[in-house]
């Protein structure tokens, strides 16, 4: 595989079962989504970079021990004073003393330094290596076990851009391109599909085995059939039940949006939005017979009239 090709691992898609395996290109970071709720994390430093680390750690529900002499970056002080986050942060108002310190790196799941003291950063890194604790050293990339990246979050949707340490600012610019081009309210699609998956798991519980395969195949085909935009409709309880009743319970058929058009439970406003967007995307002929701007307007007026 040449360096400008996009490699990907095996997938569940039949079209990918061609037994051609891309060559491995070493040197990448392993991108993961760490679940840190209630995990003890040590953050050393109290400047701008530490304030950025703190923000993401708080959003991850971590339990943070922050060691830095004051005055702190104002946003750190704000989080310490704010009752909604103060109990997640234990602040020790003093310098960290490295190996001599009574706070030991081995008592934490992750360690992060964001200090202007290169020698201390190196020492913390060595302590972490010895104890096999993963460490991010903001000022010495080669010593990092993990890098941060430019991030964006829209509800459950999170995207991280890594440039492998080459261009953090460039990574942030790429993040902004993605942000500006994401479909509107994409997070509602993610929430909707999450609800459908969870309802399916209630009807077909268990892990692995034949049932697990069938569940995954069905979910995959439902995703492909509805597409990202229409997944927003899965936030409607009745609609989800209908898809599961008529589809999963009925020989695991794949029910698409067109199979349910007449159902009153689909929010009319979302129908109108979908129809208008398919008209603008595909033209009236692509959209199908019988739908006119006039009927959309009538539907809209009747909806407004009934409110």
Ligand X SMILES: C[C@@]1(CC(=O)O)c2cc3[nH]c(cc4nc(cc5[nH]c(cc(n2)[C@H]1CCC(=O)O)[C@@](C)(CC(=O)O)[C@@H]5CCC(=O)O)C(CC(=O)O)=C4CCC(=O)O)c(CCC(=O)O)c3CC(=O)O
Ligand Y SMILES: NC(=O)C1=CN([C@@H]2O[C@H](COP(=O)(O)OP(=O)(O)OC[C@H]3O[C@@H](n4cnc5c(N)ncnc54)[C@H](O)[C@@H]3O)[C@@H](O)[C@H]2O)C=CC1
**Interacting residues with ligand Y (CB under 6 A):** 44-50, 67-69, 95-96, 114-117, 120, 138-139, 168
In the complex, the smallest distance separating the C-beta of residue 79 from ligand X, rounded to whole angstroms, is 16
Among the listed residues 172, 271, 291, 299, the single contact to ligand X using CB under 6 A: 172
116 binds, among ligand Y, ligand X, none (CB under 5 to 8 A by kind): ligand Y
| Burial (CB count within 10 angstroms: exposed 0-12, middle 13-18, buried 19+), residue 277 | middle
Among the listed residues 40, 47, 95, 168, the single contact to ligand X using CB under 6 A: 168
State the residue number with the nearest CB to ligand Y.
47
163 binds, among ligand X, ligand Y, none (CB under 5 to 8 A by kind): ligand X
Q: Which is nearer to ligand Y, 168 or 256 (CB)?
A: 168
How many C-alpha atoms does 264 have within 13 Å on its Cβ side?
1
In the complex, the smallest distance separating the C-beta of residue 60 from ligand X, rounded to whole angstroms, is 13
Report DSSP letters for 233-298, one per residue.
GGGSHHHHHHHIIIIITTTT----GGGGTT-TTS-HHHHHHHHHHHHHHHHHHHH-TT--HHHHHH
Nearest to 278 by CA among 255, 301, 257: 257
Query: Catalytic one among 109, 139, 145, 236?
Result: 139
Residue 41 touches ligand X, criterion: CB under 6 A = no
Q: Is position 139 annotated as part of the catalytic site?
A: yes
Note whether 201 and 193 are within 8 A (CB).
Answer: no
Residue 163 touches ligand X, criterion: CB under 6 A = yes
Residue 165 touches ligand X, criterion: CB under 6 A = yes
Residues 71, 56, 148, 146: is their CA dihedral positive or negative?
positive
Q: Which is nearer to ligand X, 127 or 135 (CB)?
A: 135
Residue 47 touches ligand X, criterion: CB under 6 A = no
Residue 149 touches ligand X, criterion: CB under 6 A = yes
Helix (H) or strand (E) holding 150: strand 150-154
Note whether 46 and 72 are within 8 A (CB).
Answer: yes
Query: Which spans of this chain sit near ligand X (rule: CB under 6 A)?
Result: 52, 136, 138-139, 141, 144, 147-150, 162-165, 167-169, 171-172
Give me the active site residues, please.
Answer: 139
């Amino acid at each position: 595989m040449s360096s400008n090709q996009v490699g990907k691992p095996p997938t569940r898609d039949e079209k990918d079962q061609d037994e051609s395996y891309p060559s491995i290109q070493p040197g990448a970071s392993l991108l993961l989504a760490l679940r840190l709720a209630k995990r003890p994390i040590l953050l050393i430093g109290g400047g701008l970079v530490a304030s950025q680390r703190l923000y993401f750690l708080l959003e991850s529900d971590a339990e943070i021990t922050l060691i830095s002499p004051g005055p702190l970056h104002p946003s750190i002080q704000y989080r310490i004073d704010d009752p909604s986050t103060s109990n997640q942060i234990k602040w020790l108002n003093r310098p960290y003393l490295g190996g001599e310190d009574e706070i030991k790196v081995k008592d934490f799941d992750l360690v992060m330094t964001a200090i202007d003291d290169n020698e201390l950063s190196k020492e913390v890194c060595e302590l972490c290596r010895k104890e096999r604790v993963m460490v991010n050293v903001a000022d010495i990339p080669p010593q990092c076990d993990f890098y941060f990246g430019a991030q964006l979050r829209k509800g459950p949707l999170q995207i991280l851009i890594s440039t492998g340490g080459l261009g953090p600012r460039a990574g942030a610019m790429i993040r902004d391109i993605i942000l500006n081009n994401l479909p509107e309210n994409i997070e509602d699609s993610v929430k909707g599909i999450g609800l459908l998956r969870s309802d399916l798991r209630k009807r077909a519980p268990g892990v692995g085995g034949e049932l697990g395969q069938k569940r995954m195949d069905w979910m995959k085909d439902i995703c492909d059939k509805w597409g990202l935009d229409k997944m927003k409709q899965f936030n409607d309880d009745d609609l989800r039940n209908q898809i599961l009743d008529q589809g999963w319970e009925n020989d695991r058929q794949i029910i698409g949006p067109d199979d349910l058009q007449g159902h009153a439970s689909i929010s009319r406003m979302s129908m109108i939005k979908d129809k208008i967007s398919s008209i603008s995307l595909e033209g009236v002929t692509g959209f199908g017979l019988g739908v006119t701007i006039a009927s959309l307007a009538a539907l809209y007026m009747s909806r407004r009239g009934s409110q």
